[in-house]
Copies of this chain bind each other. A is one copy, B any other.
């Protein structure tokens, strides 16, 4: 594979790039994660989001346990070549669940009067997502 497009990315000192996943249509920001070179290459090849799990130190095929796969519609790179934006369709549940807490988006805590408050509903019990 000609990997010139991968070489264009400024990988960080750990060989990773931050990735924002945004839902096609609603434009909701669903989650934030990292990719290494292999994860991004596989994401492009399969058109399914593949991240690098820093806690498990391995490739993480999004949805591998939950079934909440992300179908990739668009891949963007920022002006500094060091952040990737994925536009995805969040599959496996309607409405889409991107967060391991069973919520649509990981960004469900809102700052209000000096406190973080969970303001988005749990769409599916995590105990039923991860059996």
Known: A8-B116, A32-B20, A83-B32. A111 touches B27 (CB 8 A): no
Least Cβ–Cβ distance between A106 and chain B, in angstroms: 4
CA distance A103 to B101 in the complex (A): 35
Q: How many copies does the complex hold?
A: 2
Least Cβ–Cβ distance between A102 and chain B, in angstroms: 10
Residues of B close to A74: CB separation below 8 A: 110
Known: A28-B27, A29-B22, A32-B20. A77 touches B8 (CB 8 A): no
Asked if A60 CB lies within 8 Å of chain B CBs, one says: no
Least Cβ–Cβ distance between A130 and chain B, in angstroms: 14
Q: Which residues of A contact B (CB under 8 A)?
A: 2, 4-5, 8, 18, 20, 22, 26-29, 31-32, 44, 74-81, 83, 85, 99-101, 103, 106-111, 114-116
